[in-house]
Structure formats: structure tokens, C-alpha cells
Amino acid sequence: MAELQRYKAVISYDGSAFSGFQIQPNGRTIQAELEKALAKMHKSEIVKIVGSGRTDAGVHAKGQVIHFDSPLQISVEQWKKGLNALLSDDLVIMDIEKISSDFHARFDASHKTYKYRVYTQKTRDPFRHHFATHYPFSLDLDQVKLAANHLVGTYDFTSFCSAKAEVLNKVRTVSEIKVENKGDEVIFTITGNGFLHNMVRIIVGTLLEVGSGKRKASDMLGILQGRDRQLAGKTAPPQGLYLWQVEYNG
């Protein structure tokens, strides 16, 4: 058996028709589709992949990162071409490279960036129903930005985490929240060293409530301090969310 080489790949997917990233008994998932394609390239042998983290059903990725090991001696161009020919139209390998065997897609990730797309026009757009969230209210972006600034820093984000989450340490560092108008959309760009389950969607849901006047920007402090999911706003729907970029040290 040839020596194993570790590969790092950047993948992109339209999450609309997936039941999320992680393999599960029923439902089509990113991990299962990738491992199915890899098995085809390895004479049906199982090759496991490791992602930088999960994404939920309906959530997209522009730059998710995975790693896997393989004994196949083919070029990275052949990997990309071969895998993309086996994958369906909504999942693609953007980039693949050889990497040291101590690289780990999840443990070594130093920063992640998510984007969230919202459009506010009155009439919903049938071409964006899977790709952006329709929020037909006028938004006070200055207030949204003020509120967002309260969330930048190192805090216990329990209030912005799905109550089902089992992780114990809920302290995370959010290094930047950008809120910008682009065409008829409001784009949220959130970068941090790690995110709790539903954290970006709860942050966006809460910020939208500030923008439409249901909450005040200064409420953010109390929400953080209360450490109670009930205090924050609704979880924004999955279709507006994109895992945009995963960064690694070095």
C-alpha cells in the first residue's frame, strides 16, 4: 500500500437540496456525497473527510474547507477534475492542494467568515428564495451597525446559541461584523475565531429586529450578559447564510 498523502480542498455548495454537511442515516449530505465520490476513485474503499465544521440544511458555502488522506498518486489538477466529474451540479471542488499530514481542517481553523444576505423589497423575488432572506421592512442600518458593534469582542455568546447546543464553553471572539448595502440587499459579514450552533443566524435575526425598530441597539449588552437564548431575537432562516471563508495560521 502506498503512503498516504493529506489533501486540503476548498469546496463550494448550494445548500438548498442538502440536509446539511454531516453524514446522517437519511437525507443527502455534503459529507456523504464527497465520500461517495472519493470511494469511486478508490475502488470502493472508504475515504473519510473532515470539514472545518458543519453547516445546517439549506445553508450554503462559498469556501468550506475539508481534508482527507489518499494513497492515489495523481496530480491536484486530476483530483479536481476527477472529483468534480463525479459530484453533482450543486457541489464543487474549487481548489485542492497537497498539505502536511498534521494539518487538520477543523482544529487548525483560526478564523471563519460567514455572510448573510437579506433583501427588503416589498415583493419577494422567486430567484432568491433559496439564496437570500426576504425581510420586507425598512431597516435603520445605523442602528444595526451600532448594535453589531456591541457584539464585537470576546464574550460568552450563550444568548446567541441554539439552546440545544451541547458545547460547554460558549466564549467566542467575534473580530468583525460588517453591515453593508449592496444593490437592494443588506449583507452581513461576520468574522470570528469560532461560532456556536446557529450563532450567526441568531445574531442576524436579532440585528434585523434592531433595524426594524423592535429592539434598541443598546439592548445588546443586556442580552449578552443575561446568557439566555430567550433574550435574543429569532433565528434568521438558513437560506441567507453562507460559510464564506475559513482561515488557517501559517
8 A C-beta contact, residue 116 and residue 241 = yes
Q: Which residues bind its own copies (CB under 8 A)?
A: 12-14, 60, 80, 84, 89-92, 94, 123-127, 129, 131
114 annotated ligand-binding residue: yes
Which residue in 56, 69, 90, 156 is the catalytic one? 56
Closest to its own copies by CB, 25 or 126: 126
Judged by CB, which is closer to its own copies: 107, or 127? 127
Query: 148: how many CB neighbours lie within 10 A of its CB?
Result: 24
Query: Which CB, 126 or 250, lies closer to its own copies?
Result: 126
**To the nearest whole angstrom, how small is the minimum distance from the Cβ of residue 17 to its own copies?**
10
Looking at the Cβ atoms of 136 and 226, the one nearer to its own copies is 136
Q: How far is the CB of 116 from its own copies (least distance, A)?
A: 15
Q: Which has the closest alpha carbon to 161: 245, 223, 246, 241? A: 223
> Phi and psi of 20, rounded to 5°?
105, -175
Task: Report angle CA 214, 220, 226 to the nearest 5 degrees.
Answer: 110
Q: How far is the CB of 179 from its own copies (least distance, A)?
A: 22
Query: Least distance (Å) from its own copies to the CB of residue 34?
Result: 13
Alpha-carbon distances of 77 from 13, 62, 134, rounded to whole Å: 20, 20, 39
Q: Can 56 be counted among the known catalytic residues? A: yes
Measured from the Cβ of residue 46, the count of other Cβ atoms closer than 10 Å reads 8
Report the binding-site residues for substrate.
114
**Which residues are identified as catalytic?**
56
